[in-house]
Amino acid sequence: MAASAFLLISCVLCFSQAHRVANLVLLPDAVNDGAVCLDGSAPGYYIDKTSVNRWIIHLEGGGWCYNKSDCYYRASSWLGSSTYWNRTSHLRGFLNNDPDVNPEFANYSVVFVPYCDGASFSGNVNDPITVNDKKIYFRGHPILNAVLSALIQKEQIDKAEAIILTGCSAGGLSTYLHLDYVQSMFPNIKVHGLADAGYFIDAANIHGEMYIRGQYQHIFEMQNCSGGVNSDCIRSKEESERWQCFMAQYTYPYIKTPIFVFNAEYDTWQLQNILQVGCKAPNCNESQMQLIARWRTMFLQTLQPVIRSTTNGLFTDACIQHCQSLADRTWSKIMVKNQTAHDTFVDWLDLKGTGIVRAVDDHTYPHNPTCGKPHIPKG
């Protein structure tokens, strides 16, 4: 399971030559406040500042570390240490500044927050643990606080008119977990969320085992996440059930800030790691494809609170994909109800038009001709 933490979340589906370049800003002073990556290195963010008024904050994904040993190995990678980060980041899809790909958002300032805590920016354990004589820190929520504080002090984001919080995969989950918190940090600013591929569901695998439930519960407890997720969700739960607030389907009903849900109905990471179907769709036998078809039905049932919402937005496609907002084609070419994710999100924000704001694909795989090549994450 450790290998599956390193999700392939960028550049696999990047076909456009045009892209946004953001520059790294490290926050060494944050170390003194306890905001550090798994290995104790400083957090930071990438930024391309083009607008004072409109901002996108993207929380990077990349799975989770499921136990102490897993976190130890992760701490020696770019998902656990800022010492491995490049000086620039190349951004596409929803973060692209190419108006042909991303016309409504090309002029937004973009902050890309690299992920180095292993628990979706939620953990906070005072004392480091020691694994193989190496100190490992669980400080994801202090990292989020440090980045937001720096954006206020250095970038004056508190002067904005609009902020969109987004992320994909583990970063999509982060969007569910932290959206209300970000809104509370900017009470006079209109905040919206776009959660991509973060609606991981509490479902049994092909053997009937609730395997993923145990994984999320252990992460939640190991990294002491109760103070770093949606506070209304935590208050509503008995202590034994608070781990549920680390999953989108359980925390979604408590989110007050407007959120747009973007997910493939055949999410490849969930097929491999929650359903554990034993193949990489569509390269599966008939029996396995039947299991996958039943998964889609169950996923859409679990998604019903979003589908029935009268305020939140939705774009869910019958494609074999994972993390679609970061690639130009999946953001601006895949069609549901004759419109793209970009167009549906724009209509939901009411930036233009009065089109469909909750688009659920009527197709089953492989009958949506706009899906293109499946995206199969490594792991």
What CATH number was assigned to the domain covering residues 3-360?
Answer: 3.40.50
Rounded to 5°, angle at Cα 82 from 176 and 121:
20
Predicted TM-score (pTM) of the model is 0.94
Active site members: 169, 267, 322
pLDDT tens, residue by residue, 57-88:
999 999 999 999 999 999 999 999 999 999 99
351: pLDDT strictly greater than 70:
no
| Helices and strands (H, E) in the chain, number of each type | 11, 14
Residue 187 DSSP code: T
| Spatial separation of the C-alpha atoms in residues 33 and 49, rounded to whole Å | 26
Phi then psi dihedrals of residue 220, to 5 deg: -60, -45
Question: What is the DSSP secondary-structure string of 217-240?
Answer: HHHHHHTTGGGSS-HHHHHHS-GG
Read off the pLDDT of residues 280-318 as tens digits, 9 standing for 90 and up: 999 999 999 999 999 999 999 999 999 999 999 999 999
Residue ranges covered by each domain of the chain: 3-360
Residue 373: pLDDT band with limits 50, 70, 90: confident
Nearest to 26 by CA among 82, 95, 88: 82
- d(Cα 50, Cα 172) in Å, to the nearest integer? 24
